[in-house]
Amino acid sequence: MNKHIVKYLLALATIAFVGGGCNVDDYNEEYLDGFNPDKEITDVQVLKYTMTDADYASVASNAANKAIAEAAGPDAVAALAAVGTAKCFSEAASATTYLPAFLAAGYDSYLSNGSTVTVTYKNATNLAEEVVKLAAAETYTVSGADYQSVWGETPANYFTPEKPLASYANKILTGAYPDAEAGAIKVVAYNYSASEPNTGGGETPAATSIDETFDGGLNAWQIVKGSSTSTWSLDDYNGVKSAKCSAFNTTGPQDLWLISEKVNLTLADNPQLAFDVKISYWTHDGLSVLVSTDYNGVTPEEATWIDLTNNFTFDGSTSGKWYTAGICDMSAYKAESVYVAFRYQGNAADSKTTTYYIDNIQLGQDVVTVTDNDLFEETFDADNFDKWQLVKAAGEENKQWAIKKYSENLYAQVSANGAAGAVESWLVSKDPITVPAFDDGMTTFGFDIKIGYWNANCLSILISEDYTDDVTKATWIDITENFTIPEEPASGYGNDFEPAGRFSLYKYAGKTLHFAFKYVGDGANQKTTTYQLDNIKVSSMKRGVAVSAAAALGQTRAVTQEQYAVYTFNGTSWATAEATTIVNPEDYTQMGATNPNFSSSFSQDTYLPLYLKYKFPYAMPEDVMDVAYHFYASGSTVLQADRYTFDGSNWIKNLTYETLDGPFKKVSGKWNFDPSMTLVVAPDRSAYSKSFYQACVDWVLQNKDAAYTTDNRSGSRLTDAEYYSGCAASYTNLNWRINTLPKYYWSEADEDISAYDNWGSEDKDAMRASYQAFYDEVEKRFGEVMSAALGTLYPDVKMISGIDVIYTVQMMLYTQHIGSGTGKVTHAFEFKLVDTGKFEYVRMYALSPEYELMKDANFE
């Protein structure tokens, strides 16, 4: 019975008996079964309400709402007034702000705390069909091959006033989208230069060195990004300018090149390459350092690139600290002209989003300003092992580490080739090496390697902090995976020694170390790979002062800007979209933005009217313009679009409406927007409860092995129960019995169930371990299944900016310790909304201590 009805009946009872001097509570106690005069009458309800046009006027005139708006300022007052006239809420006057007072006026008189009213209301939005298509448009990035089709042999990757995009867009887009349908719309990303490339009068002389600090920006470098949504950008932090790249908050694979101008090294005797690096938020190794002598200046994918990465150190644990990555000997190219490239590859979908910063790039003769302090160096030119301890653990004498000579070069070699059996041979640095503090430079350990007749991996690279003179008593850390050890050739020897990599000793700063090369082979079992080592080195590198920016390079590279254009297909050809514009990166800069996008702190609603007025000074009243722009929110940058109309003086944003549902809950006497829900799925076999379990069963039937839904006794297929996670629709409970699910169902799906074998053991610790493993596994499975089921049951639930939407599902568990006759919910499971109609499992907890699954009493 509703609270207001009860009060009405009580009032009638008072009138009826007041004349007789009878106390109302006396009457209630005698005639109303269970009446308690001291207990508050509550009315907790879950209701739905749809706003009428008159309701919006009530919201706008509500005294409490006016006070909120007045406190926020004149703009808020005007926005609230517009709710009444436009008959909708807006971003400036949100339902979450102004509906609570409206609900209090209408429901406070009888709805109790805990009640929920889901209000259906209109919210201003921009949903014109063309605008929706524009916001959803795919971005096509003009490729190197596209630029080649424009310029031929001229190495230019940009459009110019003489060769504008408009002259070539139809050909490019027709080739990219041969099956496009009329009405298709694409955003084209391209490079533009106001200067024409040098096409005559001889080739511009190449620079002879690089000394790049990026003080002059990135203009001396070519950026090739293909279809990547990220790019190399100029970073300026604490006065340090650098080139930055990351896949964080991007869509799709990222493949980004930062390529130098051509550098002529023919006059150099001992050219070197060095640079500084800073790594933040490391998730993967995503940076390669490459060199090419045949790059055409446009399409890097067509060039031959030599990988120099192993000459440098990239240590993600340095977390935001600058250091010199290494010094690479470029003597092999001193008779050449070269291009140097930094290639970043990542993918946010695979959590490969490391951020790299590059600075102080130096290439050439006597240009590198890095101090290289050698703490240990071995070239074997002395033809002895004085710096080493040789440990012959197994195998013949002539199968141990030995110094060899080939083509006047001395090196260390080991092999089990020809051995009768096992070979174990150690090459251990004899004297301890103390790693300097990081402030004294990045310290690394590296070596060159060559392989012969590879047939097995026999070499390990180890370090120890406690080695004295016995390898068996020391603690060794295997660092082999940090090096590139070739697994070829299977016949003969490699062409030359190659750098195996540089291992960072950052985390060992201040510690004393020994290094070891451990060979384990077996001549009787075809583990006989030959390893040759040379140029073993531990060194500490510290940066001096970079001399100057690469002015020479800046003179030869045309200054380009990344720009966008919008094209639409009319069924025959591609043309620029009419009455459509897109905000370009330089436009954001002119508006005062620090990033090429709008955001919550840099509003498009403020700047787009000004942008349009500046860009279209001769607009006529009633002119309409669709505007595409990039917007950053919730960790990603996306394309958005709005429609504006010129009223003769200003550009006005067009508004249409969408219908939204907003849940509001009364807590402690106040109404608040609360999209989260608690769903009590009681073990009462009701249609409501069965719907949750059945949704779980249906999902398992469609997505999991048939063994989980096959009756273990009859062999028939179940349609109302699944034993992947234990949902039983007919009983409306979760069957989490350890003696049932693993043995009769999980094992039938070829799962290893040995972790649960000790559930009935006399060994209490073993028993507890089996239960813990089982509950962990079945909880994970149920989280997976119910997440999908909630998406089926609530497919239209939408994300709300800044608010976590949590659905809490309460259910009854049937376990070895919680009987099937419990008759009430025992546990709660929380799920978080992560996209429209998509949920993610968060956690579970018992609703009462007596239902704790792992309590001690269950194992006594």
Residue 308 included in any domain: yes
Share of the chain above pLDDT 70, in %: 91
The 3-state DSSP class for residue 706 equals: helix
Q: Answer yes or no: is 396 within a domain.
A: yes
Which of 569, 559, 583 shows the shortest CA–CA distance to 637?
A: 583
DSSP 3-state helix, strand, coil percentages of the chain (rounded to 5)?
25, 35, 40
Residue with tokens 């300022």: 73
469-488 pLDDT tens trace: 999 999 999 999 999 999 99
Q: Which two tokens stand for residue 198?
A: 């040098």
The answer, yes or no, to whether residue 556 has pLDDT greater than 60, is: no
364 and 388 inside one domain: no
Weakest mean pLDDT among 41-45, 97-101, 785-789: 41-45
Same domain, 146 and 31: no
**Angstrom distances, CA of residue 400 to CA of 427, 430, 462:** 9, 17, 17
- Quote the CA–CA distance of 461 and 477 in Å, as a whole number: 8
Owner of token pair 């200046």: 297
Does 687 share its domain with 741? yes
Check pLDDT > 50 for residue 595.
yes
For residue 683, is the peptide bond before it cis, meaning its omega torsion is within 30 degrees of 0? no
- Residue 166's pLDDT band, with cuts at 50, 70 and 90, is very high
Residue 9 shares a structural domain with residue 143: no
User: pLDDT tier at 126 (50, 70, 90 boundaries)?
Assistant: low
Q: Give the pairing of strands 240-245 and 355-364.
A: antiparallel
Render pLDDT for 768-815 as a digit per residue (tens, 0 to 9). Answer: 999 999 999 999 999 999 999 999 999 988 887 777 899 999 999 999
* Residue 343 and residue 240 share a domain: yes
Give the model's pLDDT for residue 560: 76
The two beta strands, 574-576 and 402-406, are unpaired
Show Cβ contacts of residue 94 under 8 Å, excluding neighbours closer than 6 positions.
none
Residues 167 and 230 in one domain: no
Mean pLDDT of the chain: 88
What's the predicted TM-score (pTM) here? 0.55
Domain contains 190: yes
Both 735 and 849 in one domain: the answer is yes
Contacts of 703 (CB under 8 A, 6+ apart): 788
Structural domain total, the chain: 5
In a domain, 298, yes or no: yes
Residues 164 and 246 in one domain: no
Q: Look at 274 and 91; give whichever has higher pLDDT.
A: 274
**pLDDT of 19 above 70:** no
> Average pLDDT of 643-663?
87
pLDDT score recorded for residue 417: 96
**CA 276 to each of CA 270, 273, 445, 462, 800: distance values in angstroms, whole numbers, following the listed order:** 20, 11, 17, 27, 43
pLDDT of residue 156: 84
Q: Are residues 221 and 150 in the same domain?
A: no
Q: Which of 146-150, 266-270, 383-387, 662-666 has the weakest average pLDDT?
A: 662-666
CATH number of the domain residue 388 falls in: 2.60.120.200
CA dist., res. 312 & res. 688, Å (int): 63
Residue 837 has which token pair?
């109609």
DSSP state letters, 138-200 = EEEEPPHHHHHHHHTTS---SB-SSS-GGGTHHHHHHHH-TTPPTT-EEEEEEEE-SS----S
443 and 345 belong to one structural domain: no
Residue 118 lies in a domain: no
Q: Which of 214-228, 274-288, 312-326 has the lowest mean pLDDT?
A: 214-228
* Cα atoms in the Cβ-side hemisphere of radius 13 Å centred on 723: 22
Encode burial over 196-220: b for 16+ CB neighbours within 10 A, e otherwise. ebeeeeeeeebbbbbbbbbebebbb
Map residue 597 onto helix, strand or coil: coil
Q: Is residue 92 part of a domain?
A: no
pLDDT at 203 over 90: no
Domain end marker among 339, 368, 397: 368
- Return contacts of 198-206, CB within 8 angstroms, 24+ apart: 199/154, 204/556, 205/264, 206/261, 206/262, 206/263, 206/264, 206/337, 206/556
Same domain as 568, residue 493: no
Domain interval for residue 513: 374-539
Dump pLDDT digits (tens) for 661-716: 888 888 888 888 888 888 889 999 999 999 999 999 999 999 999 999 998 888 89
Residue 583 located in a structural domain: no
Tokens 């009430």 found at: 824
The pLDDT assigned to 22 comes to 45
* Distance (Å) of CA 656 to CA 15, 176, 615, 627, 642: 54, 34, 25, 16, 11
Using the 3D structure, point to which of 550, 578, 606 is the last residue of a domain: 578
Which pLDDT does position 307 carry in this prediction?
97
- Asked if the model's pLDDT at residue 131 lies above 80, the reply is no
Do 143 and 222 lie in one domain? The reply is no
Strands of 219-259 (E only): list them: 222-224, 233-237, 240-245, 253-259
DSSP string, 48-109: EEE--HHHHHHHHH-HHHHHHHHHH-HHHHHHHHHHHHHTSB-SSS-HHHHHHHHHHHHHTT
Instruction: Tell me how far apart the alpha carbons of residues 621 and 598 are, in angstroms, rounded to a whole number.
Output: 27
In a domain, residue 388? The reply is: yes
Neighbours of 599 (CB within 10 A): 15
The mean pLDDT value for 157-162 works out to 92
Q: Cβ distance 118 to 48 under 8 Å?
A: yes
Backbone angles phi, psi at 720, to 5 degrees: -125, 15
Contact in structure between 326 and 541 (CB atoms under 8 Å): yes
